[in-house]
Amino acid sequence: MSVSPAPASPSPVAALPVPRRVAAFRTEGFPMLPIAILVTLALLAIFAELIAPHNPEIGSLGQRFKPPAWIAGGSTQHLLGTDHIGRDVMSRLIFGARVSMMVGFMAVIIAGVLGSALGILSGYLGGWVDQVIMRLTDTWLALPALTFAIFLAAIVGPSEWNIVIILGAVYWTRYARVIRGEVLSLKERDFVRLAIVAGCSKWTIMRRHLLPNVANTAIVLATLMLGVVIVSEAALSFLGVGVPPPKPAWGLMLADGKKGLMAGYWWLTVFPGVCIVLMVLAANLLGDWLRVKLDPQLRQL
């Protein structure tokens, strides 16, 4: 009997039965890590006053540029060191989580609501409404997001709320494009046609039939956008047009940290950055998981 050159196969009886719960985890790929990170950050943000050891906005000049506790010169008073005004880094990081989460989520929600609404209108109503909204979207998209945000910040002045609105205004276009595409294909589906035949008004159709169906896409897009928004906010703060001092935004901490960079005060740069990376990583992983879970078709995003 001639056998083709193939790897030896284990006998079918040899494998042990895999416990069902574990098997489910493996196939689902439940995102423990990203959710753990996000929940931790959320808790830090909510209970910042209770958790942070020092006031994040006030420092003592006698304690400037103290290194983290495990390095010579550091103390357990300031576990992660202090910055150029003597403010405790760890406390600032903790309060910074609040800023990042607030700005991140609010901006994403604003962009999402605005973008989805316009996307649905544009996709469903078609005609000149569609043309106008699409041309607007294209133009908006042609403006590099960060540059545009800087421009707007220069006009209205930086503040936490302004940043939220600006980021929302800059990023809605991402939603509009994608949601419109969804709506265009949903329009051809039977359940929409049935609703039209049944005499539903345009608004009803958009609200009751289209909206729930695009919700999945919108949610996935939201998690992906969260990462982008957070990095944008950090960049804006770093440049000085984001969240204004003395509020402890991570991006702002990086800007301050740059001042001590050439002198080797690495902790002022590394720690805030790590926080940003963790949050963005968590958002991205969650987004990936949701994308696969909710609809494999969304893989193009």
Partner 1 sequence: MSDEPLLELDRLSAHYVTGRGTRVVKAVDEVSLSLRAGETLGVVGESGSGKTTLALAILRLLPTAAQIVSAAMRFDGEDLLAMSPVEMRRIRGKRIAMILQDPMASLNPLFSVGDQVGEPLRVHENASRRSAWERAGALLRSVKIPAAGQRLREYPHQMSGGMRQRIVGAIAISCEPRLLIADEPTTSLDVTIQAQYLKLLRDIQREHGLALIFITHNLGIVARMCDSVAVMYAGRVIESGPVRRIFNSPIHPYTRALIESIPRLGEGPERLTAIDGQPPDLASLPVGCSFQARCPRVMDHCREEAPPAFDIATDHNARCWLARP
Partner 2 sequence: MRRFVLRRVAYAAVSLFLLSVTIFLFVRVTGDPTVLLVEPGASKADLDALRHELGLDRSLAVQYGTFVRDLVRGDFGRSFYYRTPVLELYISRLPNSLMLAVAAMAFSLLIGIPSGIMAAVRVGGWWDRAGKIFALLGLSMPSFWVGLLLILFFSVYLGWLPSSGSGTPLHVIMPAFALGWYFAAAHMRLARSSMLEVLGSEYVKLARLKGLSEARVIAKHAFKNALIPVLTLAGINLVLMVNVAVVVETVFAWPGIGRLLYEGIAFRDFPVVQATVILGGSMIVVVNLVIDLLYAVIDPRIRYER
Residues that bind partner 2 (CB under 8 A): 135-136, 138-140, 142-148, 150-156, 227, 231, 234-235, 238-241, 254, 257-258, 261-262, 264, 266, 269-270, 273, 276-277, 280-281, 284-285, 299
Measure the CA–CA gap between 171 and 168, rounded to whole angstroms: 5
Please return the burial class of 251, using the count of CB atoms within 10 Å of its CB with bins 0-12, 13-18 and 19+.
Answer: buried
For the bound state, the minimum distance from the C-beta of residue 27 to partner 1, rounded and expressed in Å, comes to: 11
Is residue 88 within 8 A of residue 59, CB to CB? The reply is: yes
Measure the CA–CA gap between 272 and 68, rounded to whole angstroms: 13
Nearest to 206 by CA among 222, 183, 223, 225: 183
Site string for partner 1, 15-44 (x = CB under 8 A): x-x---------------------------
CB atoms within 10 A of CB 19: 9
Could you say which of partner 1, partner 2, none residue 135 binds, taking C-beta under 5 to 8 angstroms by partner kind?
partner 2
For the bound state, the minimum distance from the C-beta of residue 31 to partner 2, rounded and expressed in Å, comes to: 13
Q: Which of residues 129-188 bind partner 1 (CB under 8 A)?
A: none
Binding range to partner 1, per CB under 8 A, among 9-17, 122-130, 139-147, 196-204:
9-17
Binding range to partner 1, per CB under 8 A, among 2-10, 83-91, 146-154, 194-202:
2-10
For the bound state, the minimum distance from the C-beta of residue 296 to partner 2, rounded and expressed in Å, comes to: 13
Site size with partner 1, rule: CB under 8 A: 14
Give the C-alpha distances (Å, rounded to integers) separating 246 from 55, 87, 91, 99, 181: 11, 11, 13, 12, 43
